Structure 1
């Protein structure tokens, strides 16, 4: 099992978080000494042929400038691509390749509910996706070959874009730094910083470790919708202290204050935590299956673990928890499960769990039921 890094190069994590995280870029030479890509270009292309895998191809000089094609692709697609200036991007490779999934362990100095996935790009010589910026933090680990990176200005929604493409390509780029990254080198880029990477030579592969950063609009819309489900219809706008107005059409400050108080009344820490935990642990890619949902009871999985089998966290599982004076809520793949804090900490931290680690916890009926639910959700897998 991979052990999380305690340093980024020679830099303590505390220093990185204080001085760089969401503040300024950082180049880390030889961040992963002797790094060898766990995936070959042909294997990455093979993933792009699969129906359940999200993949894209960007051609700098296609039918339109910066043409975007969406997968799944077929082998003929790759046979007809030009020799230069295109990129294949495959999303969430960590969910399909265990060795790529293990890379995420190196980044758990950031809360795991903020981690999104590992996207891998492949490009021949001069291939890239153009000058752009992201709304989220990203670590760019060079996996194979070389990539020339340029960093530019701080951007926002008003930054001018190239017309005639579905991609958000910047029409202006002002270079502030540039480097060539080789295997094992890594570049951290905070949100909003323009960046532009191009393959230098063939067989360039870059691993992008991205983070979830919901927009304020999504937070307001999703939280409001979720919290509204728990409010009974009897609760209504009321104004028992109404006084005569000069103009009946005016919505006065007192009415606005009344509405504001209604909204704040329901925005309790408990309601927000309940929604936010579910929202941030929803799986981005749902598995499509015609199989019946699991119906494993507690006796079955306890017997299996007592016989030496293990519980494994599903590679796509997303887990977090929140504790307050009322207890602990465990969030697993968009569901809320009540359990002890000890169990929540265990399943949030460990990839594999043995009977010895669970033996004491399962004496509690609530924890036993929680584990059973996690197994039937396929958040945890029995000896898979």
Structure 2
């Protein structure tokens, strides 16, 4: 039985996921006509506007008016939006997959890329002419048209200077090389740092952007060190019994520097601690994420992960929503199946060990997973 990543995919224009990753991922764009024929928006315009008004949802209103560009961060109430017929405005709603099941299901189509890299699904609704100006992203993105039409101009931009005194990161000297008009079901993949400018053509233009996580090395290292430092059980205090009297009291003692270096070396030498910290950081739920109370009592049966749950694993651990657990043998295989498939059939749960069932029950009671409807 061949792996799905070896099967040609309409989503990728007939390429297999393996071939796409080899030829295009972080290398060159790909335009796919009718990647999802008959595609339906994950929610309608009214539902999107209602979502943008919620305080726990990240949204932005962008208008290109007579006085230039303006940006307003959400929540954005419906009465604050311009008239639908007014041209040149865009509403962006981030993380729609956390709130709308259909958006979550759409995002799952892109899991041929590791979950550690998959970020979220953003929806852009634009009036005629609406867009966010020519710009570039530091991460990969799939741009899927789900209603209306949008004209995209793209180019390999060497000059990345930005327009001054503008609330958006708009390129000062955009030089497009190609142009496409996307219809519903069409999709455009762009690697990082490819300049692009999307403009709504006509009314009711809705685009889904599937974005990817690209951790900044220094920021990730700092977060890992912070998490590892919080967990380390090291009560050794700095001592300097041979410190002489000094007439330069503001000078940093060399002994203190060596003490700090030794502390960092000990942290980095703890490979298991580093592995756990990375898994916990990469599965930490997004800010403002909450989980609902479970519906009913726990009983072993078919399960599915909540759409807000992040779950990953390595050879010795399972990571879920910022926590790590040691796992081996049959229990590890069970948890890896849950993470990969985001669900388990009833027979697998019922045959699980008492320890695994107890852990699944804890996650059920936390709202991290739910019973699958029969």
State the TM-score bracket (shorter-chain normalisation). Answer: 0.7 to 0.9
Q: Deviations over 1:65-104 (max 9, x none)?
A: 3211122222322355661111011111112221221112
Q: Partner residue of 1:109?
A: 112
Contact 1:338 1:370 in 2 (8 A): no
Q: Which residue among 325, 349, 360 is the counterpart of 2:351?
A: 360
Counterpart of 1:144 in 2: which secondary structure? strand
Q: Report the Cα distance in structure 1 between the residues aligned to 2:39 and 2:132, rounded to whole angstroms.
A: 24
Contact 2:334 2:348 in 1 (8 A): no
Contact 2:84 2:127 in 1 (8 A): no
Q: Report the Cα distance in structure 2 between the residues aligned to 1:83 and 1:250, rounded to whole angstroms.
A: 62
Counterpart of 1:30 in 2: which secondary structure? coil
Q: Report the Cα distance in structure 2 between the residues aligned to 1:194 and 1:264, rounded to whole angstroms.
A: 41
Cα deviation for residue 348 of structure 1 reads: 0.5
Q: Which residue among 264, 276, 279 is the counterpart of 1:277?
A: 279
Report the CA distance shift for 1:155/1:330 in structure 2 as closer, same or farther (over 3 A): farther
Contact 2:289 2:308 in 1 (8 A): no
Cα deviation for residue 148 of structure 1 reads: 0.7
Cα deviation for residue 287 of structure 1 reads: 3.6
Cα deviation for residue 377 of structure 1 reads: 2.6
Q: Partner residue of 1:331?
A: 319
Q: Kindly report which structure 2 residues correspond to 1:162-181, keeping only aligned pairs within 5 A, or say none.
A: 162-181=163-182
Q: Which residue among 340, 365, 374 is the counterpart of 1:376?
A: 365
Q: Partner residue of 1:185?
A: 186
Cα deviation for residue 40 of structure 1 reads: 2.0
Q: Partner residue of 1:302?
A: 299
Q: Partner residue of 1:229?
A: 230
Q: Deviations over 1:2-38 (max 9, x none)?
A: x987521121222211121112211112211222323
Q: Partner residue of 2:312?
A: 320
Q: CA RMSD in A?
A: 3.1
Counterpart of 1:203 in 2: which secondary structure? strand
TM value normalised by structure 1: 0.83
Cα deviation for residue 229 of structure 1 reads: 1.7
Q: Partner residue of 2:246?
A: none
Q: Which residue among 123, 136, 146 is the counterpart of 2:139?
A: 136
The question of 1:24 aligning with 2:28 is answered yes
Report the CA distance shift for 1:154/1:271 in structure 2 as closer, same or farther (over 3 A): farther
Contact 2:157 2:174 in 1 (8 A): no
Report the CA distance shift for 1:354/1:40 in structure 2 as closer, same or farther (over 3 A): same
Report the CA distance shift for 1:149/1:251 in structure 2 as closer, same or farther (over 3 A): farther
Q: Which residue among 23, 35, 39 is the counterpart of 2:39?
A: 35
TM value normalised by structure 2: 0.85
Unaligned runs of 5+ in 2: 241-250
Aligned residues: 358
Q: Deviations over 1:41-66 (max 9, x none)?
A: 2221222222322211100126x532
> 24-33 or 142-151: which moved more?
24-33
Q: Which residue among 335, 340, 349 is the counterpart of 1:344?
A: 335
Cα deviation for residue 376 of structure 1 reads: 2.7
Q: Report the Cα distance in structure 2 between the residues aligned to 1:15 and 1:344, rounded to whole angstroms.
A: 29
Q: Report the Cα distance in structure 1 between the residues aligned to 2:172 and 2:140, rounded to whole angstroms.
A: 22
Contact 2:349 2:357 in 1 (8 A): no
Counterpart of 1:202 in 2: which secondary structure? strand
Contact 1:337 1:370 in 2 (8 A): no
Q: Report the Cα distance in structure 2 between the residues aligned to 1:153 and 1:271, rounded to whole angstroms.
A: 41
Report the CA distance shift for 1:191/1:354 in structure 2 as closer, same or farther (over 3 A): same
Q: Which residue among 69, 78, 82 is the counterpart of 2:72?
A: 69
Q: Partner residue of 1:213?
A: 214
Cα deviation for residue 218 of structure 1 reads: 1.2
Contact 1:155 1:194 in 2 (8 A): no
Unaligned runs of 5+ in 1: 240-248
Counterpart of 2:357 in 1: which secondary structure? helix
Contact 2:145 2:207 in 1 (8 A): yes
Counterpart of 1:113 in 2: which secondary structure? coil
